[in-house]
Amino acid sequence: MADAVSWKIGEGVMVVTIDNPPVNALDHAVRQGLLAALEAARPPEVRAIVITGAGPVFSIGEEITKAATADQVPSLGEVLDRIETCGKQVVAALNGQALGGGLELALACHTRIALAEARIGFPEVKLGLLPGAGGTQRTPRLCGAAEALKLMLDGAPIDAVTAMAMGLLDGVVEEDLLDRAVILAGMLIGEGKPPRPTRDRREGFRDPQTYAAAIAAARAVERDDRLPAPERIIACVEAAILLPFEAGIAYERAAAEDLQTSDAAAGLRHAALAEARAARIPEAGATPRPVGHAGVIGGGLMGAGIAVALLGAGLRVTLVEADEAALARGLSRIDDLHERAVARGKLSEESREGEWARLAGATAIEALRAADIAIEAVPEDEALKAGVFRDLDRVLRPGAILATNTSYLDVDDLARVTSRPADVVGLHFFSPVQAMPLIEVVVGAQTAPDVVATGFELARQLRKFAVRAGVCDGFIGNRILTAYRSAADFMLEDGATPAAIDRVMRDFGFPLGPYQVADMAGLDISWARRQRLAESRDPAARYVAIGDRLCEAGRFGRKTGAGYYRYGEGSRMGAEDPAVIRIIEAERAAKGIVARSFGYDEIRDRCLYAMVNEGAKILSEGIALRPSDIDLVMLMGNGYPRLRGGPMKTADVIGLLPIRNKLRDWATQEPFWTPAPLLDEMIKEGRHFDDMNAD
């Protein structure tokens, strides 16, 4: 891009503007442009340089999708060294966000001022990386180890006022940023002092003991040892005070290169790209319908959580329940969720009162006549939900959206009971709503494009990620979860224990194993679904009834104190229970199964390969648009470890051929393991799942 960097000279000051929309990424063209600007500033009449960004962003550094250009000469580190040592006074004027390499650019300048709304930060740790263009060396020179480490290890941006208090900025202005920066540059020229490069600053090193204590404190924090970036960041910040600047830069560069090629960084980068891709849907060009008033039918845990999320997005909400007693319970749940948010500092009392003022309760569906969208969240019963949709079809105004929060039911079947199937969509929230950042937008056969677009826009307003899904039993997340659980259940019946399977999957990176999750969710919920599907179940397919037997014994999970584990008073982590082992052994005996042992690797592989195989089926059926959408659902909705990138990314890392071959071996004993035809096709064509993501 020839005009990615432009400059103007006036009264001895060169103003350099980075114009590389949408985020002023420091790609190869920009780096070359900055060097060209420095060359143009060589004449003695140019005595100072101001660097700023066009538009609302200063720079976010290198875009993830263009990271390969970071290897092209000149590197960002080389450009920043040239800026810092150019012999001219260089002022950074931060007109907006300065993240990652953008902040490193600002730190390489000699003076920094920013608009008050600007935010700065180092998000690299979230990608398994570290600031690799001098950030770990320049930052602590200005603010010390404690503040530098917090900025880099948290990965969250801070506001300009906070940054100035830390010593990272020299001024914050409300307006006229560029004029103020030029004036400041003129003042620096007038003082006649030589530039003071950040590499020569020592403010952050004034108290070596405090610096060392901050390093030790950071190392003492318990972290996932599979994430290498935090330890490398700490080591680089320690090197800043121990080594000369050039040696510290070399140390940082080596650490950055190691992280760049790590499996964790690859997985985390893939996850970040999956988030960006998910919004690329066929309906993206449609105009969302306006939504200001939402109805929620059902005040249970899901309904109350959805209502609170809608209130938090500024919408008016009407909660509808069957009778006054149920409505009172629903409103009480909403109040409890508000109270917890206030206690955690997530919600102010003033905001709580404002949200409560926008909430209404009703026992008649007619209260939703003026609603723009109605989301049913009643129990997972097809007849009950169909009845709600008939009522909504009768009551809602033309153009209002009828949404279902069903986890498994056929959205098209629900649409067929209405006279307006184009207005029907699935909005599958994950539980607990207040904690889970995902919504599956389930698109029926006749769902209108603007209804789909509205689902994505609503998710954005709720600060959640949306993934487009087609109609099938369980959509994306729960369908893969079902395959995962089936693989685990087969091993359970064949000789493994719940604790052994859970331990392996926690070690892989899941926060909880499948049986811990089942106990937390409540075994009766999945039991009810199995009962609903009993008549349509293939009689030849293997069915594991251990979960049914636990429910028949009144063991519904944590809420009853017993499920796959036993829970003491107030306990959230269950203990192994001999009674469960006896139930499992009885089921084996009834089927004539002789228990065998399962090794650590086999437990892991069977669980993972079941997810991959089901994902391949979902792709071939068009239920998901791309593999990374499946990964995103599993990451955001089902606890798949983010550093692994998701099951389809994991499959690419392992290799599709060994996965397919192992599935074939297992399928000789159990048809469940029959490889999806898509795997054979991809292997023949030499493709990976990532090839289907098509950035």
Q: Assess whether 208 and 332 both reside in one domain.
A: no
Residue 190 and residue 302 share a domain: no
Domain shared by 482 and 469, yes or no: no
Q: How far apart are CA 575 and CA 580, in angstroms?
A: 11
Mean local confidence (pLDDT), 311-340: 95
- The whole-number average pLDDT for the span 492-502 is 97
The predicted pLDDT at position 400 comes to: 97
Which of 418, 453, 476 delimits the end of a domain? 476
Q: Which two tokens stand for residue 527?
A: 């039991």
Query: Are 494 and 635 found together in one domain?
Result: yes
Q: What's the chain's average pLDDT?
A: 94
Are 38 and 167 part of one and the same domain?
yes
Please indicate, yes or no, whether residues 467 and 483 belong to a single structural domain of this protein.
Answer: no
pLDDT at 69: 44
Q: Is residue 266 part of a domain?
A: no
Residue 306 zone, left/alpha/beta (φ > 0; ψ -120 to 50; rest):
alpha
Give SS3 for 599: coil
- Which letter, b or e, does each residue of 439-469 get, where b requires 16 or more Cβ atoms within 10 Å of its Cβ? bbbbbbeebbbbbbbbbbbbbebbebbbbbb
At 528, the pLDDT band (50, 70, 90 cuts) reads confident
Q: Which two tokens stand for residue 209?
A: 């003991």
Range of the domain at 143: 5-261
Choose the final residue of a domain: 261, 276, 310. Answer: 261
Name the domain boundary from 239, 261, 283. Answer: 261
Q: Do the bridges between strand 359-362 and strand 373-376 make them parallel or antiparallel, or are there none, so unpaired? A: unpaired
Calpha distance 316→338 (Å, rounded) = 16
Confirm whether 282 is domain-assigned.
Answer: no
Residue 318 covered by a domain: yes
C-alpha 93/C-alpha 106 separation (Å) is 8
Cα(472)–Cα(618) distance, rounded to whole angstroms?
A: 9
State residue 225's pLDDT score: 78
What pLDDT, on the 0 to 100 scale, is given for residue 65?
59
Examine the domain organization and report whether 60 and 193 are in the same domain: yes
Residue 382: give its domain's CATH number: 3.40.50.720
pLDDT of 177 above 50: yes
User: pLDDT of 534-566, one tens digit each?
Assistant: 888 888 889 999 999 999 999 999 989 999 999
What is the C-alpha to C-alpha distance for residues 128 and 203, in angstroms, rounded to an integer?
29
The answer to whether position 239 is within a domain reads yes
Query: Where residue 607 sits, what CATH number does that domain have?
Result: 1.10.1040.50
Q: With contact defined as beta carbons under 8 Å apart, do 566 and 498 qualify?
A: no
584 and 467: one domain?
Answer: no
Domain count within the chain: 3
CA distances for 426 relative to 108, 316, 686, angstroms: 50, 21, 36
Strand ranges of the sheet holding 171-173, from the earlier edge strand across to the other edge: 5-10, 13-18, 48-53, 89-94, 111-115, 171-173
Q: Are residues 334 and 385 in the same domain?
A: yes
Query: Tens digits of per-residue pLDDT, 61-107?
Result: 887 655 544 567 899 999 999 999 999 999 999 999 999 999 999 99
**Contact, 12 vs 45, CB < 8 A?**
yes
- Residue at token pair 């028949």: 552
In this prediction, residues 278-304 reach a mean pLDDT of 96
**Residue 179 within a domain:** yes
279 located within any domain: no
Q: What is the pLDDT of residue 529?
A: 78
Backbone Cα Rg of the chain: 29
Q: Per residue in 144-158, pLDDT tens?
A: 999 999 999 999 999
User: Model pTM?
Assistant: 0.90
Residue 145 sits in a domain whose CATH number is 3.90.226.10
Is residue 249 located within the same domain as residue 398?
no
**Calpha distance 308→313 (Å, rounded):** 9
Same domain, 548 and 651: yes
Per-residue pLDDT for 341 more than 80? yes
Residue 285 falls within a domain, yes or no?
A: no
Separation CA 163–CA 146 (nearest Å): 13
Task: Give catalytic residue positions.
Answer: 104, 124
284 in any annotated domain: no
Q: What is the largest CA-CA distance in the chain?
A: 93
Q: Give the integer Cα–Cα distance in Å for 658 and 678.
A: 15
Query: Is 508 found in the same domain as 432?
Result: no
Percent of the chain beyond pLDDT 70? Answer: 98
User: Does residue 368 register a pLDDT over 60?
Assistant: yes
Q: Please give the pLDDT value at position 68.
A: 42
Closest CA to 387 of 411, 408, 418: 418
pLDDT at 381 over 50: yes
Contact 5, 41 (CB under 8 A): no
